[in-house]
Structure 1
């Protein structure tokens, strides 16, 4: 069979509140984000593994609070006074440890916001980021922390369905249960499976099915 060309086009992920699936793994974090007007000091650190939904929740909060969403690494490149005119969600703050300019920028942004709404996302609590700036560390440690846990079966199933839908792919329930029972229990793994199955289906001119997933699984085991 002649292979078709498969281009890895970006999928249109939806970050609306209606697209955020709630389970025991994320219900408490969602409740904390939705109660943002009562955050101590007007700030919250949202913690969870890669792909756990931190970006989705950051956008849900941004919609509620009229906030801007920005990567922590980009803070030195923007006008902080202009940014701080609205609440701000800062993503991946743990990745700027040791970056003096980014640490200083986050410190100044925190002070400019003066408790008017700062959501910070990371994979671990501030004490584990390895920050060099003591004043920034103390301010981040003073924030409340909301935890996103690894997904349970229900949440992982919902996320797989959403990821396929983002690529305009409708799949049968038997594929979802098959993947959930065999894949690594992480959102990052879900993204990789959906991306790979989509690419393989396009390349071979086939639909995304349980049979295709079984073939892919055999390939990964053999490989």
Structure 2
């Protein structure tokens, strides 16, 4: 597992945004790295909230891919024209959808996107969860302390949004208490995010 620094526009003095590449999104990253293999020059990317779909889209855009984020909320006739344009130009088109599944009413669009490359971000495994916790802590400027991932990984909800909320809660509690985040803060953050019973299951 690794992390890639995505070439995003950032404010002066800020750290680059990073996305963890692991079991849940490795196949997606590899497919986005080689759009020449996409059927009909088009790929459709879906995944759970906060899973990095937009970050991957921005990275792909930097590689010359035309990206439409939030495609499921765009007019379907507009998407149909963009699909046709991709066929004429040969330039790759990536559509990012928040809806799972994405219900498409326009038959012509539905059939064409059905033949395009379907990409989906899955559920992170323990190794990726640990990397996500460490990466998010780094973004917060938060030193979690020794043993943090060993304690948190078995207990945190297996979702990108849940992991993000946990790290943000640890950061908030540490600032409120003016104390480094040790086990008492890890435990209280889990209690607040998931409830005490769920947090202590393991």
Q: TM-score range by the shorter chain?
A: 0.7 to 0.9
What does residue 69 of structure 2 align with? 91
Shift of 1:119: 0.8
Shift of 1:13: 7.7
What does residue 148 of structure 1 align with? 121
RMSD between aligned alpha carbons? 2.3
What does residue 221 of structure 1 align with? 196
CA distance in structure 1 between the aligned counterparts of 2:15 and 2:160, rounded to whole angstroms: 14
What does residue 121 of structure 1 align with? 96
CA distance in structure 2 between the aligned counterparts of 1:90 and 1:13, rounded to whole angstroms: 26
What does residue 198 of structure 1 align with? 171
2:181 partner SS:
coil
CA distance in structure 1 between the aligned counterparts of 2:157 and 2:149, rounded to whole angstroms: 13
What does residue 55 of structure 1 align with? 54
Within a 5 Å distance, the mapping from 1:153-192 to structure 2 comes to 153-192=126-165
What does residue 83 of structure 2 align with? 110
Corresponding residue pairs, total: 180
Q: Summarize the Cα distance change of 1:173–1:29 in structure 2 as closer, same or farther, 3 Å threshold.
A: farther
Shift of 1:190: 0.7
Deviations 1:168-193 (A, max 9, x none): 21222411222211111011101111
Q: Scaled by the length of structure 1, what TM-score is found? A: 0.71
Deviations 1:90-130 (A, max 9, x none): 22333x2xxxx6222222222233341111123566xx322
Shift of 1:36: 1.0
Which consecutive unaligned segments of at least 5 residues does structure 1 have?
A: 1-11, 66-86
Which consecutive unaligned segments of at least 5 residues does structure 2 have?
A: 1-13, 198-202
Q: Scaled by the length of structure 2, what TM-score is found? A: 0.78
Higher relative contact order (CA 8 A, sep 6+): 1
CA contact (8 A) 1:197 1:213 kept: yes
CA distance in structure 1 between the aligned counterparts of 2:103 and 2:28, rounded to whole angstroms: 24
1:121 partner SS:
strand
CA contact (8 A) 1:52 1:150 kept: no
